[in-house]
Amino acid sequence: MKLNLTLPIIAVFALLGSPNAGAEPKVKLKQIYSGLETERPLALVVPPDGTNRRFLVEQTGKIRILPADESATGAKLFADFADTMEVEKNFEEGLLGLAFHPEFKENGKLYVHYTAQGPKRSVISEFIAKGDSLDMNSERILMEVQQPEWNHNSGNLLFGPKDGMLYIAFGDGGFRDGIHLLAQRLQAWNGKVLRIDVNSKSEGREYGIPSDNPFVDVPAACPEIWALGLRNPWGMSIDPETGDFWLADVGQDLWEEVNLIEKGGNYGWNYQEGARDFATRTELMGLLKRKNNPPRGVQFIPPVHEYSRADGLSITGGFVYRGDKVPSLKGHYIFGDWKFGNMWALDYDSVAGEVKGNHQIEKPADPAKPNVQPTGIYPDENGEVIVLGWNGRIFRIVST
């Protein structure tokens, strides 16, 4: 396959978006919890129990309950996975995901993703909460996924707002170039979005296989797979208003991408990076003495948006804003770049299936010293935007 460096003009605008389309949001970052020390926060989740508690996940293993007072200097410790998880390199391993059961108020169940070693693996487990603490002895391991390398674990977990199924994102096994060739294999969980039923058990499993999963009837395929062809998903959300399933996928050398996940969809890695042929795949396949052609009849789904290395090196996905305090962001998908600290609001027309514009809402004066290196972008209990920073700082997006 040849590297395609050109796209039709229409396709370029569909992917990159017209920067002048729609009204420009007038917003800024405002730091909150400035007196609270956190270490590598990467997720903020509000349980569906009416308590409006904000659970902050730190990659180092702690889950804290943030106080309602955003000027507070302390946060209650809910759980500590330091003795449960294991890391070889803490840059991408550790405590990586949290999701509360839709009936958490009644059953106290929640789900976490953490890494372990010997063998190297990702663990998805169920626990039961007791008030403001987690019963660490209640662990029920649902699945363990072998990981060839320490990187590209992903970690995102969420429950579908309508179907109640648990969606789990995994990276491609790590290192670089997709060298393990797992993202396109239906016999592996790596490089996929999985979908399982935590309320039932299929034969030989600690969870149920939804009967409408796309590969249930494909011989030898993992029936948990919902979508494939992903490199390192970092940021996954489902818009409850439209049902759009948003996922940001970290690129390698040239492009960062935003995808809309479809049932059974194939997003191209490592045949493609962004909307283009992956530049070094031909050379890689030659070195591995493997065929370079994609499976017969496969159709890769291009991203709805992408940006180049001029704007960043590692995408952090967020969610579609449905809050009330920042009207200019209403209906926009909020995302950013971990390395450069740029942030954007993507104006996507779900009915027409097209990008109307992409607005930059945060641009550091010095990319080497960004205000925030976003590790997570999440809604609070009112749907307002909270941005988590790699250095422990936490921000809101507010109107100017």
Q: How far apart are CA 235 and CA 155, in angstroms?
A: 9
Residue 7 lies in a domain: no
Cβ–Cβ under 8 Å, residues 376 and 395: no
Residue 107 lies in a domain: yes
Cβ–Cβ under 8 Å, residues 1 and 282: yes
Cβ–Cβ under 8 Å, residues 190 and 173: yes
Say if residue 84's pLDDT is above 90. Answer: yes
Q: Each residue of 136-160: pLDDT tens digit?
A: 999 999 999 999 999 999 989 999 9
Residue 222 lies in a domain: yes
Cβ–Cβ under 8 Å, residues 11 and 67: no
Number of domains the chain contains:
1
Residue 79 lies in a domain: yes
Q: Rounded to 5, what percent of the chain is helix, strand, coil?
A: 5, 40, 55
Q: How far apart are CA 398 and CA 393, in angstroms?
A: 16
Give how far the C-alpha of residue 333 lies from the chain's centroid of Cα atoms, to the nearest Å.
13
H or E stretch covering 284: helix 281-288
What is the pTM assigned to this prediction? 0.93
pLDDT value of residue 196: 98
Cβ–Cβ under 8 Å, residues 304 and 320: no
Q: How far apart are CA 227 and CA 194, in angstroms?
A: 7
Q: What is the CATH classification number for the domain harbouring 80? A: 2.120.10.30
Q: For tokens 């795949």, name the residue.
A: 281
Beta bridge partners of residue 227, listed in sequence order: 193
Band (22; pLDDT cuts 50, 70, 90): low
Residue 125 lies in a domain: yes
Band (288; pLDDT cuts 50, 70, 90): confident
Q: Write out the two tokens for 161.
A: 């707002």
Alpha helices in 28-157 (DSSP H): 104-107
Q: How far apart are CA 243 and CA 235, in angstroms?
A: 16
Pairing of strands 121-130, 109-116: antiparallel
Cβ–Cβ under 8 Å, residues 108 and 129: yes
Peptide bond into 137 cis (omega under 30): no
Domain coverage including residue 78: 35-231
Band (21; pLDDT cuts 50, 70, 90): low
Residue 355 lies in a domain: no
Q: Each residue of 88-109: pLDDT tens digit?
A: 998 999 999 999 999 999 999 9
Q: How far apart are CA 339 and CA 316, in angstroms?
A: 10
Cβ–Cβ under 8 Å, residues 208 and 197: yes
Residue 73 lies in a domain: yes
Q: Tell me what the pLDDT averaged over the chain comes to.
A: 93
Residue 130 lies in a domain: yes
Q: Write out the two tokens for 122.
A: 């990702």
With a pLDDT cut of 90, the percent of the chain lying above it is 86
Q: Each residue of 329-375: pLDDT tens digit?
A: 999 999 999 999 999 999 999 999 999 999 999 999 998 899 999 99
Q: How far apart are CA 397 and CA 26, in angstroms?
A: 10
